[in-house]
Every structure is written in C-alpha cells, then in structure tokens.
Structure 1
Amino acid sequence: MARDIKVHTGYYDLGEGRKEPTAWVETGSLLKPGPLDLVDGLASKYLRYEGIDDDGRPGDRPKDLPERMTQRQILAIYRDELLHYGRPGLSAWGENMGTARFAACMKWVREIVDEAFPGLKGYTR
C-alpha cells in the first residue's frame, strides 16, 4: 500500500505584518548540477541585479560576490535559486550585462565553483 504524502500547513508572509494561510507538500528530487549550473546558481544570487549593463567597467569585481565558498554553501544557493527562478530563469542572470562584463563575471564565479569542487574544473557539463 502506498504511503500518503503529508500536507504541511503554515502561513505565507505578505509583508507589512500580513499573513495568509498556506498549504504545501514536500517532494524530494535528485539534483545533478554540472559546473555551469552551479555558476548560474551563484551568479543568479549575487549578480542578477548587478546594474551594469554596458562594457564600461568589465573588470570591477562585484563587492557582494564572495572570494570563496564551501561546497555546502554553493549547493544550498543553487537549490534555493533553482526553486525560486526555475531552470530557464536561473540562467537569465546576465541578460542586462554587456558581453565583456558578462565574461568577467562568469570567470569570477567559475573560479569560486572550481575552488570548492576541484573535480569539476575543466568541464562544462
């Protein structure tokens, strides 16, 4: 006999002290992110609203982007960003950047991922 899936209940915060009752079910999915997926997750969190939409200052490292992160931190951010934006939205973080700025940001975030996951270095998928 199949086990029933538990329904969770709680409140959704609407802001300004207002809450709304909500209910949800939890699922478990095996995620298999590749290096560029992890880069998109970090870039989505730290660079989505970067605000530089031209190539005027491509070499300025964003001040909010950490120098290094642990594997657990990277995976937690990836999961949260994936849940919030979905797969197509996750990779849309650099849409408003110029080409040189986007390339510089990709390099910085990829360095963070490669340092935390040395086994992913050199792979794109």
Structure 2
Amino acid sequence: MPGATYGGFGAFEPKTRRSRKPWLIGAVVVLVVAGGAGAAWGLGVFDGPTLDRQSVQDGVARVLRDDFGERDVANVSCPEDQPVRTGTTFDCSATVAGQPKKITVRVLNDEAQYEVGAPK
C-alpha cells in the first residue's frame, strides 16, 4: 500500500536511556542495612540475654560470706557477657582471707539463677 504509515504511537522513536539513580539508591540502602546488621551482630545484639556482671560479682561475694563462712572476701571479678543459658560455667576470681582464689559459677536455668562453687 503506497503512502501507508507503519505503527502507532512511538513506533519509531529512539529508546531513551533509563536512569541509574534507582539502582544507586537501592545499592546504598542495601549497604546501610547490611552495615547496621553487621554492627549489631558485632555488638552481640543477637546473642540473647547475658548475666549482669556486677550482680554476679555481688552474688558471689554474698555466697562466699553467707554460705561458705568466708569473712574476708574482696576483689571479686567475673567475666562480662556470660550467657543466660542452662549449663554455662565460668570462673570468677576473688581474694579470700588474703589469698587469690578461683570460684566456679554454673548457670542453673534460663532465668539467670546460678550456683556458686567453693573457692579453690
């Protein structure tokens, strides 16, 4: 057919180049979220509950005095960030009657109850 035209709207219009801006914004968002998650993991946010160090140290000193009859207890030091998980054990140190001693602590349940062993 002579004189006929082809196609409808935009049939022969050149393709325009799409912007990369959405991809760049998406990449930045992914990097920020990944960085935040990595920082949270590094800080132990996903590790679950931990024992309060000061409370455990005070509890160990109290048990040594009240239950083991040790009157001269000083410088109780326990490690930080111990998990509240049944069966977890760790050692604290203290000065008992002027002598350095090691005290083993065992977590009894998921409610942060623990058992204090005799000083060694």
Shared fold (TM-score greater than 0.5)? Answer: no
Say which structure is richer in helix.
1
Say which structure is richer in strand.
2
When the two structures are superposed, what TM-score results if normalisation uses the length of structure 1? 0.24
